């Protein structure tokens, strides 16, 4: 048993729940239904797989305990539920009983982009942790001095998690193409958007590695905006329009048959998702990849009005929550595609296709969360975890 946990000082069976007074003096009430549901006795819980054995019936959850006592050097509570069932609750398990955190998402844009040199990131585990932490906290990190050889991005991705394959393959080239399969592969301005938001689970991290960016090329600056911060502001300033965009779905699509591997994907979901306490847990924003919405005419009017207001907030929020910079060869930007919208200025003066050449790839949000949480446990167990923007209700 880990010694990081407090000891139990005393117990009290109350009508509403079990009161525990902890060794640091603070006390907490644990509801009986929660305790019944989260029992760690061998009958309820398989300790070798870490899985619950069976679903509970309604009657089980209404059970009141007969008695409770402290065991295992003050590190376990035992509860007599009935004659055949001695419940077991190690403090480690009790520590999972938490009230949802308030304002778990309160942090401002950092003035400077967090930058980490490639060599440190590849060879030093602490630097890798700093990168993962930066991605969780700020949503965007820049690696510098990355070798400008093709496919180096694979080595960078592999140090986080496997690449997520999409309709653009594993690693894709972003150049100005003659026959583009995506607006990103033209010289046009690319408005702020999230990638592949027409997937049921859009990619979490996006990596973009700048291999070449000739000085003669004009424009082409990269833009990034924290869509969660914008949505928070929208919720404060226009709660009605905000709730309209939580309620009515937009339409996200990629329909492109005239392509080596034809694509026909449509996904309809609201632009903003909140949890049971009206905290923002998801933003879906991708104007270049939107299709016709399917709504009744009254709703349609409300939808367009709210959409227009949110689009205005995105544009106005750039000064406070956005970044704009020109990638240099050897720069590799990593950002959370579920939290940030990104775009690019119009590109001028391209003579050959590789005058501006980026390579990109994705990592699934689940793989990132997994690696983040493993590293968090190792390096910073007591530091807060910020929202991953993946529609998880609570992060702590």
Within 10 A of 201 (CB to CB), how many other CB atoms are there?
13
CB 192 within 8 A of CB 222: no
The residues with which 249 forms a beta bridge, in sequence order, are 270
Choices 41-49, 103-111, 172-180, 298-306; region in contact with Zn ion by CB under 5 A: 41-49
**Is residue 279 close enough to count as binding Fe ion by CB under 5 A?**
no
Among candidates 318, 348, 317, which has minimal Cα distance to 233? 317
230 makes contact, choosing from Zn ion, Fe ion, none, with CB < 5 to 8 Å by partner type, with none
Specify the DSSP element, H or E, that contains 365: helix 365-379
Region of 270 please: left (phi>0), alpha (psi -120 to 50) or beta. beta
- Residue 273 burial by CB count (10 A; 0-12/13-18/19+): exposed, middle or buried? middle
**Is residue 39 close enough to count as binding Zn ion by CB under 5 A?**
yes
Q: Which two tokens stand for residue 125?
A: 């585990």
**Is residue 41 close enough to count as binding Zn ion by CB under 5 A?**
yes
87 makes contact, choosing from Fe ion, Zn ion, none, with CB < 5 to 8 Å by partner type, with Zn ion
195 makes contact, choosing from Zn ion, Fe ion, none, with CB < 5 to 8 Å by partner type, with Fe ion
Choices 33-41, 60-68, 116-124, 178-186; region in contact with Zn ion by CB under 5 A: 33-41
Choices 38-46, 142-150, 232-240, 288-296; region in contact with Zn ion by CB under 5 A: 38-46
Within 10 A of 156 (CB to CB), how many other CB atoms are there?
19
Among candidates 212, 120, 198, which has minimal Cα distance to 159? 120
Smallest gap from residue 157 Cβ to Fe ion (A): 17
Instruction: State the binding string over 164-203 for Fe ion (x if CB under 5 A, else -).
Output: -------------------------------x--------
The residues with which 325 forms a beta bridge, in sequence order, are 222
Closer residue to Fe ion in complex, CB, 287/330:
287
Closer residue to Fe ion in complex, CB, 121/168:
168
Smallest gap from residue 45 Cβ to Zn ion (A): 7
Residues 173, 144: Cα–Cα separation, whole Å: 19
Binding site for Fe ion (CB under 5 A): 195
Binding site for Zn ion (CB under 5 A): 39, 41, 43-44, 87
């Amino acid at each position: 048993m880990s010694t990081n946990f407090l000891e139990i000082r005393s117990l009290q069976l109350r009508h509403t729940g079990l009161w525990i007074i902890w060794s640091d003096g603070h006390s907490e009430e644990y509801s009986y239904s929660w305790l019944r549901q989260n029992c760690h006795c061998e009958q309820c819980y398989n300790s070798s797989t870490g899985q619950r054995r069976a679903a509970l019936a309604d009657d089980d959850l209404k059970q009141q305990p007969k008695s409770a006592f402290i065991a295992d050097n003050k590190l376990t509570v035992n509860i007599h539920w009935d004659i055949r069932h001695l419940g077991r609750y190690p403090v480690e398990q009790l520590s999972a009983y938490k009230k949802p955190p308030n304002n778990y998402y309160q942090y401002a844009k950092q003035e400077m982009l967090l930058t980490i040199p490639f060599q440190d990131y590849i060879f030093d585990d602490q630097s890798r942790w700093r990168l993962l932490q930066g991605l969780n906290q700020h949503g965007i990190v820049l690696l510098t001095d990355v070798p400008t050889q093709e496919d180096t991005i694979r080595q960078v991705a592999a140090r986080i998690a496997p690449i997520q394959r999409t309709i653009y393959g594993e690693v894709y080239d972003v150049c100005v193409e003659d026959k583009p399969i995506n607006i990103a592969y033209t010289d046009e301005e690319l408005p702020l958007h999230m990638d592949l938001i027409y997937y049921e689970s859009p990619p979490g991290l996006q990596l973009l590695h700048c291999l070449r960016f000739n000085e003669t090329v004009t424009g082409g600056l990269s833009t990034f905006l924290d869509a969660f911060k914008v949505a928070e502001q929208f919720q404060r300033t226009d709660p009605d329009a905000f709730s309209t965009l939580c309620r009515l779905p937009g339409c996200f699509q990629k329909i492109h048959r005239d392509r080596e591997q034809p694509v026909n994907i449509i996904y309809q979901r609201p632009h903003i998702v909140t949890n049971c306490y009206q905290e923002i847990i998801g933003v879906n924003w991708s104007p270049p990849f939107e299709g016709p919405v399917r709504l009744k005419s009254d709703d349609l009017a409300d939808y367009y009005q709210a959409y227009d207001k949110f689009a205005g907030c995105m544009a106005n929020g750039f000064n406070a929550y956005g970044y704009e910079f020109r990638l240099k060869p050897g720069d590799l930007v990593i950002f959370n595609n579920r939290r940030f919208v990104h775009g690019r200025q119009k590109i001028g003066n391209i003579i050959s296709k590789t005058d501006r050449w980026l390579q990109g790839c994705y990592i699934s949000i689940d793989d990132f969360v997994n690696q983040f949480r493993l590293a968090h446990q190792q390096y910073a167990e007591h530091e807060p975890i910020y929202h991953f923007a993946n529609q998880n209700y609570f992060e702590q």
